[in-house]
């Protein structure tokens, strides 16, 4: 297979980059990484060289450039013989809906609680919009786990692109100490945060020293 290169942003902050990285890692695909420092004078020009949107992530394979995290998830799943999604067609449709909901939604959560893997004990205002996003995540994770717990520990039993999409949400729960998850959802949160395959990303994120003030949100509890 032609070599794959994933273009990513700072591991501590770049939630969109983490998603394809997590799925590619779970699928056992081998790939190189190029990290572009977010919010630097060089970023805009560099990112434009790698992706037409000037954003990360992007995936390169020879002359092919795939951008938009969800399109990358689809592509790498195809490269792995479809293993990025559930084998069952109905489950696959549900998993795609759940993944698309993350890609296009949860605006309050994303805006008020940026992913910041190394930060702990941050608190943000529990606005109605944020609480509504948390309630929806609780419902979604709980229903998935209730229905699929017999097949494995992930949203649809086996690991899928849906889990990769929600991994940055798990880090947000850890950073901002958000309440509101029921037992099943909490169990899933622990599964996501304790996933040994993401350890290299987390270790690298913890080793990063650069701070982006725009992403350092929240006060001590
Ligand atoms: N919809 C895009 C979002 C990509 C995105 O916003 N990436 C951020 C980093 S996590 C970025 O490149 N920000 C730099 C900028 O917008 O200048 C996707 O799903 O890949």
Could you list the mean pLDDT of each consecutive 10-residue stretch along the chain, which spans 221 residues? 97 98 98 97 95 98 98 98 98 98 98 97 97 98 97 98 98 96 98 98 97 93 81
Q: What does the DSSP assignment read for 43-78?
A: HHHHHHHH-TTS-S-EEEETTEEEESHHHHHHHHHH
Q: Looking at residue 220, what is its pLDDT?
A: 84
Cα gap 59→71, rounded to integer Å: 10
Query: Relative to the CA of 43, which ligand 1 atom is closest?
Result: 17
Q: Looking at residue 129, what is its pLDDT?
A: 98
What are the backbone angles phi and psi of residue 32, rounded to the nearest 5°?
A: -90, 160
Q: Looking at residue 16, what is its pLDDT?
A: 98
pLDDT in tens, 51-109: 999 999 999 999 999 999 999 999 999 999 999 999 999 999 999 999 999 999 999 99
88: CA distance to ligand 1 center in Å?
31
Residue with CA at minimum distance from ligand 1 atom 17 = 55
pLDDT in tens, 73-84: 999 999 999 999
Q: Is 188 left (phi over 0), alpha (psi -120 to 50) or beta?
A: alpha
- HSE, CB side, 13 Å, CA atoms: give it for residue 147: 11
CATH 3.40.30.10 fits 4-79, yes or no: yes
148: CA distance to ligand 1 center in Å?
31
Contact predicate 193/172, CB 8 Å: no
**Residue 98 corresponds to which tokens in the numbers above?**
């759940």
Whether 9 is in the pocket of ligand 1, judged by its Cβ within 6 Å, is: yes
Residue with CA at minimum distance from ligand 1 atom 1 = 68
Pairing of the two strands 58-61 and 4-8:
antiparallel
Query: Relative to the CA of 17, which ligand 1 atom is closest?
Result: 10
Query: Relative to the CA of 16, which ligand 1 atom is closest?
Result: 10
Whether 11 is in the pocket of ligand 1, judged by its Cβ within 6 Å, is: no
198: CA distance to ligand 1 center in Å?
20
Domain definitions of the chain by residue range:
4-79, 89-202
Q: Looking at residue 221, what is its pLDDT?
A: 81
The CATH classification number of 89-202 equals: 1.20.1050.10
- The candidate with the shortest Cα–Cα distance to 214, out of 14, 17, 54, is 14
Whether 68 is in the pocket of ligand 1, judged by its Cβ within 6 Å, is: yes
Pairing of the two strands 32-35 and 4-8:
parallel
Query: Relative to the CA of 15, which ligand 1 atom is closest?
Result: 10
């Amino acid at each position: 297979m032609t070599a794959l290169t994933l273009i990513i942003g700072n591991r501590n902050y770049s939630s969109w980059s983490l998603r394809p990285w997590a799925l590619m890692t779970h699928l056992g695909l081998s790939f190189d990484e190029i990290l572009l420092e977010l919010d630097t004078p060089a970023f805009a020009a560099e990112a434009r060289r790698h992706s037409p949107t000037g954003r990360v992530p992007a995936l390169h394979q020879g002359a092919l450039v795939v951008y938009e995290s969800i399109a990358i998830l689809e592509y790498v799943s195809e490269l792995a013989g479809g293993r990025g999604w559930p084998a069952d067609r109905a489950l696959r449709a549900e998993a795609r809906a759940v993944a698309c909901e993350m890609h296009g939604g949860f605006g309050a959560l994303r805006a008020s609680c940026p992913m910041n893997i190394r930060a702990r004990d941050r608190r943000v205002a529990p606005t109605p919009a944020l609480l509504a996003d948390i309630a929806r995540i609780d419902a979604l994770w709980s229903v998935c786990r209730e229905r699929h717990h017999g097949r494995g520990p992930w949203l649809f039993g086996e690991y899928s692109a849906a889990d990769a999409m929600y991994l940055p949400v798990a880090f947000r729960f850890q950073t901002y100490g958000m309440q509101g998850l029921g037992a099943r959802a909490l169990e899933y949160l622990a599964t996501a945060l304790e996933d040994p395959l993401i350890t290299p990303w987390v270790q690298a994120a913890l080793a990063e020293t650069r701070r982006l003030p725009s992403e350092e949100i929240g006060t001590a509890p």
